[in-house]
Amino acid sequence: MRLRNITGSEEKIEKHEFVINEYVEKKGNWGQVFGNEQPIRIEVGMGKGKFISQMAKENPNINFIGIEKYSSVLVRALDKRPEQLENLYYLCIDARELPDVFAEGEIDKIYLNFSDPWPKDRHAKRRLTSRQFLEKYISILKENGKIEFKTDNRNLFEFSLEEVVAANWILEAHTFDLHNDKRLVAGNIMTEYEEKFSSRGNPICKLIMKKPL
């Protein structure tokens, strides 16, 4: 998918009060950004931000950080951000930078929603559920920290299930049809992609994995 450049997006991101641009110095001190010591959860590749905004709205006792590497996408999330939210900040970074941004055990949970499938085999390491990325998540997740992953891409989902095993993560639950799975669909918040794909009849896959002991 080709992203349309939005003029002035980088300037708007730089000046927005809820975008953290000097993020490396916050490592290990993210509680100070929020002004409390509530659990911190992140969404990696948040797109236009519908999911994480709703999560923040429904969970005021949890802090959220939306991560998006494309400025032209992040700026759309900023435009849609509910003004009353005080527990949601944003970062414009690549997921590969996560260990440089967060300290060991600083993150409570990671959400991966409809990540780029990188369908060519030679690009497997770029998939956000690859064992290479799972190793990065280990370093920032707290003990018993979890990842929740959703996609409509069956091949990516099956790849992800294999990577969970290969990386020695604990697979807590998974489904190939989330919206018809009573165990996992309760409280489900849909992303923009999820709404679009499910409206076409595409089954949504979801897994929950826990950090290795």
pLDDT at 7: 66
Backbone angles phi, psi at 99, to 5 degrees: -65, -20
pLDDT at 193: 94
Residues 83-98 have pLDDT tens digits of 889 999 999 999 999 9
DSSP assignment of 43-102 equals EES-TTSHHHHHHHHH-TTSEEEEE-S-HHHHHHHHHH--TT-SSEEEE---GGGHHHHS
119 vs 127: CA distance, rounded Å: 9
Residues 76, 111, 102, CA angle at the centre, nearest 5°?
Answer: 90
Check pLDDT > 80 for residue 8: no
End-to-end CA distance of the chain: 38
pLDDT at 4: 55
Check pLDDT > 90 for residue 11: no
Q: For the residues 33-54, what does the mean pLDDT come to?
A: 96
Residues shown for the chain:
213
162 vs 108: CA distance, rounded Å: 23
Full set of structural domains in the chain with CATH:
34-210 (3.40.50.150)
Contact assessment for residue 18 and residue 88, using Cβ atoms and an 8 Å cutoff: yes
Mean pLDDT of the residues in the chain: 95
Binning pLDDT at 50, 70 and 90, where does residue 142 land? very high
Q: In what order do the strands lie in the sheet with 63-67?
A: 88-91, 63-67, 40-44, 107-113, 141-151, 205-210, 170-175
Check pLDDT > 90 for residue 177: yes
Check pLDDT > 60 for residue 149: yes
- List the catalytic residue out of 79, 116, 152, 181: 116
27 vs 6: CA distance, rounded Å: 30
Binning pLDDT at 50, 70 and 90, where does residue 1 land? very low
Residues 182-193 have pLDDT tens digits of 999 999 999 999
Contact assessment for residue 64 and residue 107, using Cβ atoms and an 8 Å cutoff: no
pLDDT at 68: 96
pLDDT at 184: 97
* Number of Cβ atoms within 10 Å of the Cβ of 32: 10
Tell me the C-alpha to C-alpha distance, in Å, between residue 118 and each of 2, 114, 115, 129: 14, 12, 9, 11
Q: Is 181 labeled as catalytic in the residue annotation?
A: no
Residues 12-33 have pLDDT tens digits of 899 999 999 999 999 999 999 9
